[in-house]
Amino acid sequence: MTLIEVDAMGRQARQAARRLGRATSEQKNQVLRQLAGLLTENPAHVLAANLLDVIDGEQAGLSAALLDRLTLNIERMNSIATDLRSVAELPDPIGEHFDENLLANGLRLHKQRVPIGVLGVIYEARPNVTVDVAGLAIKTGNAAILRGSRETLRSNLALISLIRQALAAYGLPEEAIQIMTDTDRSHVHELLQMDEYIDLLIPRGGAALHEFCRKNSRIPVITGGIGICHLFVDESADLASTLGVMYNAKVQRPTVCNALDTALIHKAVAAEFLPRLVEELAPAGVSFRADPSAILYLKDGGDLLPSVSPAGPGDFDTEWLSLVLGLKVVEDLADAIEHITAHSTGHSDGILTSNPSHASQFVAEIDSAAVYINASTRFTDGSQLGLGAEVAISTQRLHARGPMGLRELTTYKWVITGDYHTRE
């Protein structure tokens, strides 16, 4: 792609955003339902394209985590379509009035939700993101320029063709959702400079991508999606129930950002709980990196249990994205909070406890986007938290935190109504 072509994408996106921002709720919902139908009724074209991407990925030596994220199948296509239908059923935030007020001088005020405008989204081997972003952008009247990775180009092009087909079917501009067809990395830098056209940049990928965007973008950047996630087992926790939560958080889908990376165990229950935890998770293929404080409880006849090895220097600062779990025994709640504060990326962290005051203290002191009491970290997900889907999980403090759904893709304007008022 040339600079002229990239610039043309920006101009088309800006024009499309103005038209999409005026679309009715029903018009937008019809597009989402149409797209859901296209994904489930005739998925062969998308699955064939995705299979070629997966084969190339295997030959290129992609990690198991990336291959899992890259892969589409009937079940995942149906899930994507279900999320689209859920988004269609949600209230349209655009035009919503809030913070209404009547001043003493008779002026009537309210804030009114409007689209952000044009989104730029950079992401790696996640074709489902193409549809998630498109669905949420369309619902909120935002245009989007997408830049996926080369590993998923065929899949993305097949999905984009369906998205544009659904937009055209209901009279909305196909240019509302565009994708950069040239995956040369130089175009990422060009995208970051398009502040004339793009209002918000959302990177979805590893730490290197987020850092590059923060340092090089002329556009406001939403960062997040990197999860070193913790669960602390308090001395009052129901240990039998805790095992189920730990299993779900680590094993259900270990390649995603809300999967568990470190289990912190109160010393009062370590002798009983740690061997049970290893016994429960090891048959599922989990291996353990144990801090010296945990190794004491994980020996059989003087030798470490087969699935356990000593933790290395950087292990508690690693997002595993695999069936590896860090283990550490802590003195008390304050010690657990100190560890999480030092090692968490601010994504998802939780406590398992029957002590309400401990739960309250944990919530007050843990500054993560999602903080859990007696639940798996795997719920940090737009569809799981009732948002229908998400464009990203933000771990920063400005504008949005956690899963970014419909309202997080809006801004607002002040509307002031008077009776020919003048200021004194």
Domain boundaries along the sequence of the chain: 3-222+404-417, 229-379
User: Pick from 248, 314, 221, 16: which is nearest to 138 by CA?
Assistant: 16
If you search the block for the tokens 């699955």, which residue do you land on?
A: 47
pLDDT at position 303: 85
- Which CATH number describes the domain made up of 229-379? 3.40.309.10
Looking from the CA of 351 toward its CB, the CA atoms found within 13 Å total 28
Q: How crowded is residue 106: how many other Cβ atoms within 10 Å of its Cβ?
A: 10
Q: Say whether 73 sits in a helix, a strand or coil.
A: coil
pLDDT at position 218: 95
Are the CB atoms for 263 and 294 separated by under 8 Å? no
Q: In this structure, which amino acid lies at residue 193?
A: Q
Q: In this structure, which amino acid lies at residue 256?
A: V
Are the CB atoms for 117 and 410 separated by under 8 Å? no
DSSP 231-258: EEE-TTS-HHHHHHHHHHHHHS-TTSTT
Rg of the chain over Cα atoms, rounded to whole angstroms, equals 24
Are the CB atoms for 209 and 203 separated by under 8 Å? yes
User: In CATH terms, are 3-222+404-417 and 229-379 the same topology?
Assistant: no
pLDDT at position 10: 94
Domain 3-222+404-417 has CATH 3.40.605.10: yes
User: Pick from 123, 137, 126: which is nearest to 204 by CA?
Assistant: 123
* Phi, psi at 414, each rounded to 5°: -80, 135
Measure Cα distances from 214 to 33, 56, 201 in Å.
36, 31, 10
pLDDT tens for the chain, 424 residues: list them.
677 788 899 999 999 999 999 999 999 999 999 999 999 998 999 999 999 999 999 999 998 878 988 999 999 999 999 989 999 999 999 999 999 999 999 999 999 999 999 999 998 888 999 999 999 999 999 999 999 989 999 999 999 999 999 999 999 999 999 999 987 887 888 899 999 999 999 998 778 888 899 899 999 999 877 889 999 999 999 999 999 999 999 999 998 899 999 999 999 999 999 999 999 999 999 999 999 999 999 988 778 999 999 999 999 999 999 999 999 999 999 999 999 999 999 999 999 999 999 999 999 999 999 999 999 999 998 888 888 778 888 988 888 899 998 999 999 999 999 999 999 8
